[in-house]
Amino acid sequence: MKLNKEDLKKKVNEIVTDNDVAIQLLEDIEDSFDTEVDNTKIDELQAKIDEQQSKIDELQEKYKERFLTGNKEEKPEDKKPEEDDGLEEKDIIDIKEI
C-alpha cells in the first residue's frame, strides 16, 4: 500500500517507540517528500518555448501566404526576352583584316 507523506508520518509516530529514532525518521520523511519546487527555471523555459512557437507560427503564415495564395507579380528575370523579328546579331571576324 502506498502512503502519502502525512499518513507515513502518522504510522512512524505510532509504531516507533524510541523518540530519537522516531524524530530521525520523521525528519527523513519530511526531507524526502519535499514538495516545494522552484518553478522559475521551468517558467523561463516555457516562455522561451512559447516565443519560439509564435515565431514558427508567423513563418508558417508567411509561407502559406507566399506559396498558397500565389504571388502574381512576375520578376524581371522571369520574363522571356523579346525576339526582334528572328534576327540575331553575330560577330563576324574577317580573316583578311588580320
pLDDT tens-digit series, residues 23-55: 898 888 888 876 666 788 889 999 999 999 999
Residues 6+ apart with CB under 8 A from 8: 29, 33
Alpha-carbon distance of 84 to 98, in angstroms, equals: 31
In DSSP notation, 62-74 reads: HHHHHHTS---PP
Sole residue written with cell 495564395:
69
> In terms of DSSP H, where are the helices of the chain?
5-15, 19-32, 40-67
Sole residue written with cell 502559406:
64
pLDDT at residue 5 is higher than 60:
yes
Alpha-carbon distance of 63 to 75, in angstroms, equals: 18
User: Whole-model pTM?
Assistant: 0.35
pLDDT at residue 81 is higher than 60:
no
pLDDT at residue 97 is higher than 70:
no
Alpha-carbon distance of 43 to 60, in angstroms, equals: 25
